Structure 1
């Protein structure tokens, strides 16, 4: 029974209409696609300039004939009552309303009109089909957080039922709980895994300690889709080895939907059907393929709420091999608010700091997880969970690696913990600066 499609229809999301639109866009040749994107950009800004009081004020100096005159929008611009940001003709009862995860530290409530939200789901359905996965029939092993309040908890459980998925806890990653997870895989016919990277990596490390390949336990598994957190090369190798299935990298945002999805050739393909993605420099100028900058996105179909040149807070770059029909996201470096500032004036992405430390700290499998916090310009704290305390030699090696890749004379403190703090949704923030 197609419970997933049925639930979308019953909630007023015209999924079949959205699928038809998606298919028609995908059939366009390169020139037609370029023309389509330009038309949709003009359509959406014209709509909001006419029907959205908030956006009229925000983009009051914009020129419809010059895209670069439209201001870049940030999360802080949207941190005001939703009712003041909705377009005319839309009310909170007639739109899809949700809240961003807050992983950037700047959460806000947003809205999508029902057709826009249907296109989001049509995009996910299309991408999952690349790997023969079906939202209606493929059973999902889900590693996500869940609200702890009673209403939110049962709402998510009901959505899990409609979506044919089983939810594993990401708040308890003890060996005892991971053993229970393994038992669940033995007793269920899961088709794929989906969820937060860090939690799934911990499950894979557990399997490695047990010398177990998950596909031998659960033969129907086809793929593992990781999302919401960075996927490092070593972690991908670990997942592929311990699960025995392809690992797929997904990039999305609650307020926008699917941004990029890895194809069967390991290319991270951007969504150009309902989003327009730009990589901008500090002066809001578009960067050429291959150069790193801020990921700025326009939602081409959301009439209920403007997301026009919206700075998501991420840093990434497009591959030089990109074309209008096949734009490839080469890398996602991290968040713009996770920048390491050093005494010398040098700056680097926070996840670079995390990665340098990771190459040293996890070699022997002792350390399960760790996070890095910048407390002062020259002072960092590394909190970690492990089977045993890090040796003095290991601590020195970590400090030497940091000095080599960044600069000398930095102060690094270490603290071993029984568990690391996660967000209320179960995400692990790997680097944080308090500057």
Structure 2
């Protein structure tokens, strides 16, 4: 079969075969020898950037290092300067893969990967999707993502969709009329898999639930659904499994890095240890024991064009106690470090705790489709929601009691029913925001 996807990457200068060969060599390394491989790659990438990247050398304050734990933690604020000032010697903006982050952390920036590093990213994606029988050259994707609204950006994205064998459902309007159109496409197109933002896919599943439709029954070619970019709660996963009739795979990644974790067929959130080195650190930048929460700090082992060494991605997570160097398991992703609620008692709580507690009550009867929470003052929160009917006094009282029980009493909530919720320019839904 003609492999258009592979050919597209090749034409763009990404050495895919070399990357696939390299990845297979890494996968073949035994657990006993994995420590040596990781230490070697860490040393290689740091020495390269200390010798070839003035930006990173200045950050470290030296052209050599003796101790990994003494290397600085790189954050998104460090990277908010022109890309050409951050590129390694020998690389130009035209010779690298260049893109920008979504800005969901509040600190958007432009980043770069050298061509081999980006080819390794694709090799890693291809390897993991193959766990579920998905081939980017032949499998047809139903894509739930945002899309640029300007003419040129829109056409460019549509052309990329064509080359990548995917059909895009724009998620900026998710009214019932539009979801009916989505449904008719599933009846007529032979999709192999669904991929996209969690909140939009969950909303589509609720629409199917209301109509008592199992998606696999009207689109029998469907094999699997991969959700990404937003938190997947357990009850939402159960809803998706029920309404779609296919396995639901949780994906965690970052455009500037790679796939960070991908749910394997055993249901474990397996961390990518082939192209990345993931650490969980405390407030003093010390590694915490597995099973303990901390900041997720990641090193890209192959990116020579731009340093991502001990890079604080802005998320909080926990590695499972059974993790090994070769097979780390992400037990839980708790949320973003900048999405923490500070309460009147001085207690700090991940914003998603509010979202989770509220969600457990607010969606009981299927009336509320989606909602977001904003902290406006230390004791005041606003909940914007989309629903068929307005929340009643009894439901609001239930939420207040649950919040008092799980977090602390005397917090004030105001509820506003909306036609639609505000999404980012890429279509992401930010579930909790603090304006303090």
Alpha-carbon distance, 1:400 to partner:
1.0
| In 1: Cα distance, 2:278 partner to 2:51 partner | 23
Unaligned runs of 5+ in 2: none
Name 1:129's counterpart in structure 2. 130
| 3-state SS in 1 of match to 2:251 | strand
1:94 corresponds in structure 2 to 95
Q: Structure 1, residues 142-173: CA drift from partner, whole Å, max 9, x if none? A: 00001111221111111100110000011111
Give 1:198-217 correspondences, 5 Å limit.
198-217=199-218
Partner of 1:278: 279
Name the SS for the 1:425 alignment partner.
coil
- Provide the residue aligned with 1:32 in structure 2: 33
Residue 31 of structure 1 aligns to a residue whose secondary structure is helix
1:193 Cα offset (Å): 0.2
State the alpha-carbon separation in 1 of the partners of residues 350 and 29 from structure 2: 38
The answer as to whether partners of 1:52 and 1:88 remain within 8 angstroms in 2 is yes
CA distance in 2, matches of 1:52, 1:209: 56
Q: Does 1:294 align with 2:280?
A: no
Confirm or deny: 8 A CA contact 2:50 2:62 kept in the other structure: no
Matched, 1:58 2:38: no
Matching residue of 1:359: 360
Q: Is the Cα contact below 8 Å between 1:62 and 1:69 reproduced in 2?
A: no
**What are the superposed Cα offsets for residues 13-49 of structure 1, whole Å, 9 maximum, x if unpaired?**
0011000000000000113211111001000010100
5 Å-filtered alignment, 1:295-374, equals 295-374=296-375
3-state SS of 1:76 partner: coil
Q: Deviations over 1:292-311 (max 9, x none)?
A: 00000000110000000000
CA distance in 2 between partners of 1:350 and 1:24 (Å): 41
Contact 1:231 1:249 in 2 (8 A): yes
2:431 aligned with 1:430: yes
Range moving further from structure 2, 107-116 or 398-407: 398-407
Supply the distance in 2 between the matched residues of 1:16 and 1:143 (Cα, whole angstroms).
29
CA offsets per residue over residues 335-367 of structure 1, 9 Å max, x none? Answer: 000001100011111111100000000000000
Alpha-carbon contact 1:62-1:71 (below 8 Å) kept? no
Q: Which runs of 5+ in 1 are unaligned?
A: none
Whether 1:418 aligns to 2:419 is: yes
Give 1:402 deviation, angstroms.
0.9
**TM-score (normalised: structure 2):** 0.99
- CA deviation profile, 1:115-149 (whole Å, cap 9, x unmatched): 00000000000000000100000000000001111
User: How many residues align structurally?
Assistant: 435
Q: Distance in 2 between matches of 1:164 and 1:428?
A: 26
Show structure 1 runs of 4+ deviating over 6 A.
none
**Partners of 1:215 and 1:245 within 8 A in 2:** yes
| Aligned pairs for 1:187-202 within 5 A | 187-202=188-203
* Matched residue SS, 1:209: helix
Shift of 1:64: 2.0
Distance 1:62 1:340 in 2: 40
Tell me what 2:68 maps to.
67
Take 2:66 and 2:46, find their aligned partners in 1: how far apart are those partners?
11
The answer for the alignment partner of 1:397 in structure 2 is 398
DSSP-derived class of the 1:301 partner: coil
Matches of 2:337 and 2:427, distance apart in 1 = 21
Hey, what's the Cα distance between the residues in 2 that align with 1:86 and 1:30?
Answer: 34
C-alpha separation between the residues in 1 aligned to 2:63 and 2:378? 39
Residue of structure 2 in register with 1:111 after alignment: 112
For 1:58 and 1:23, the matched residues in 2 are separated by 34
Higher mean alpha-carbon deviation, 200-209 vs 398-407, is at 398-407
RMSD of aligned Cα (Å): 0.8
Alignment of 1:388 with 2:389, yes or no, is yes
Kept in 1, the 8 Å contact 2:51–2:63? The answer is no
**Other structure's SS at 2:132 match:** coil
- Name the SS for the 1:177 alignment partner: helix
Task: Tell me the TM-score normalized by structure 1.
Answer: 0.99
Q: Secondary structure at the match of 1:93?
A: coil
